[in-house]
Structures are given as C-alpha cells and as structure tokens.
Amino acid sequence: MDILLGDVRSLKQKRSVVRPIVAEVQRRFPGVAVGETGHLELHRRTEIGIAVVSATAANCEQVLDDCERLVAGRPEIELLSARRRLHSDDED
C-alpha cells in the first residue's frame, strides 16, 4: 500500500504514525506479516507491505480487503494505491 502521511516533518514523526498502523494490522490480523517496505527516506510517504498465506485465494483476498479497509480508515493518512500479487502452487 502506498500511503501519504499527514503533517509529518521528520522521520521521527513518520515512525510515530507508521508504527501504530503496522501494530494495529498485526493485532487485528495475527496471521499476516506486515511491515514498512518502501519510501523509507521520505517524511510524508510510506509503503506498507502485507503478506498472507492461505489454502484458498478467496481467503487471501478477503483478508487483504479487510487489511486495506483498516488502513484506509485511518484519518491521519491517505491511501494512494494498493497493489496485489497472488502466488500459487501452479506457478513454476
């Protein structure tokens, strides 16, 4: 997820906004892996990556939908885009 942060003027302030978002996703969805994955040097932008492993693609999609809604609902940020990539056993 590509995210625009609100009134953030330093990397320290950025961490104080990003850390609670990552923690909330981990708390609400304990089966996912989540972390800041990009725009590490920018103050007002961040990229958060979420990984889900499941027996069905439909369940992965549902969990990712729920995670995206949770992050997008935060008033202090603006979700600019969310990209998804599905990997399956069928791939070589």
Share of the chain above pLDDT 70, in %: 98
Q: In the numeric block, which tokens belong to residue 65?
A: 């939908």
* Residue 25: other Cβ atoms inside 10 A: 22
- Predicted pLDDT at 90: 74
Q: Please state, in angstroms and rounded to a whole number, the distance separating the CA atoms of residues 17 and 40.
A: 13
User: Cα–chain-centroid distance for residue 24?
Assistant: 10
Decide if pLDDT at 92 tops 60. no
Q: Please identify, in words, the CATH class of the domain defined by 2-81.
A: alpha beta
pLDDT digits (tens, 9 = 90+) for 64-83: 999 999 999 999 999 999 99
pTM of the model: 0.89
pLDDT digits (tens, 9 = 90+) for 15-27: 999 999 999 999 9
Share of the chain above pLDDT 90, in %: 90
CB proximity list for 59: less than 8 A, separation 6 or greater: 52
Closest CA to 70 of 87, 85, 86, 82: 82
